Amino acid sequence: MIETNTGRTVTFGVNVDPVVVPAGELVALARAAEDSGFDLIGIQDHPYQAQFYDTWTLIAYLAANTRSITYTPNVANLGLRPPTMLAKSAATLSRLLGGRVVLGVGAGASGGPIPAMGGVDRSGRAMIEYAEQSIELMRTALRGDIVKLHTGQLDVRGYRGGPAEPVPLWVGGRMPKMLGVIGRAADGWLAPGSSYLKPAMVPRLSAAIDDAAAAVGREPASIRRIYNVQGVVGAPGAADLAGPVDAWVEWIVDWVDRLGFDGFVFWPMTDPAGQTAVFGNEVIPRVREALAARTTVAPR
């Protein structure tokens, strides 16, 4: 079923916060997401938060307790996770799970928490160079090729990557230079949360990705666009983005058509279990129906 102008079926994910609660609570939420029709679970990566579990460990645990849903860090912090080991972790987990992994990455904020945990404090040009070079290394490793790179940011002296796995690389960011990295090197753009990136801001940022892709001979439409959407299905006023099921269906179809998104990660701002159920069981099917009806050609 063609649902977007790129020919892709729209993907739906839900955020699961890595909060330190009994494991059974998080497993129940992951299973509810899987049973409600979501394709993906995204888990933020802020290991310096004492109240958060480690994201990669949690993903592995939840994946072992679910059947078919895909997982992604949203996004893995390159400031604290060396790209060679991150690729190894992603390839390993993808092979063990039969491909249920997307590697979402971001450069990581400068200052504060990263050096507090022993990471290098990068900012500006150094951060962008490190992020782009890290993506290059991870792509090489995920292909199972010889991984070697010596620059001012990275010194990898040569090893064979593997297991070779076709793990997609999605990159988060909204600053101009990071958008350039996404256009040149990423498989997908994990657009920041709608609380920070309003829909009206998206066309300008998406165009920057297109320009960067075209400049290096890539097809801009090959880059997926995934929107992190923070809100509540319910009464208006409950969050910045809140409304009944009908309103959510209209918003998402509009964002597919007008903004070019082909994926969404829903961040419930209240009652995660209840909101996950209503979004999965009511919003997602209605969106799919609306998109299917729009693309159906009436018989002559």
- Whether residue 67 lies inside any domain: the answer is yes
Confidence of residue 274 (pLDDT cuts 50, 70, 90): very high
pLDDT of residue 273: 96
Helices (H) and strands (E) in the chain, counts: 10, 12
Domain that holds residue 131: 11-295
CA distances from 177 to 55, 123, 181, 212, 221 (A): 26, 12, 7, 10, 19
pLDDT for residue 2 is more than 70: no
Side-chain half-sphere of 206: how many Cα atoms within 13 Å?
24
pTM equals 0.95
Q: Which residue has the higher pLDDT, 290 or 7?
A: 290
- Whether residue 4 lies inside any domain: the answer is no
- Whether residue 191 lies inside any domain: the answer is yes
Confidence of residue 297 (pLDDT cuts 50, 70, 90): very low
pLDDT of residue 1: 43
- Whether residue 50 lies inside any domain: the answer is yes
- Whether residue 157 lies inside any domain: the answer is yes
Task: Find the mean pLDDT for residues 193-202.
Answer: 94
Task: Find the mean pLDDT for residues 118-122.
Answer: 92
What are the tens digits of pLDDT across the range 42-58? Answer: 999 999 999 999 999 99
Buried residues in 231-268 as b, exposed as e (16+ CB within 10 A)? bbbbeeeebebbbebeebbebbbebbeebbbbbbbbbb
pLDDT of residue 300: 40
Segment among 78-87, 105-114, 136-145 with least mean pLDDT = 105-114
- Whether residue 98 lies inside any domain: the answer is yes
- Whether residue 300 lies inside any domain: the answer is no
- Whether residue 1 lies inside any domain: the answer is no
Mean pLDDT of the chain: 94
Q: Specify the number of domains making up the chain.
A: 1
pLDDT for residue 5 is more than 80: no
List the CATH number of the domain containing 286: 3.20.20.30
pLDDT for residue 196 is more than 60: yes
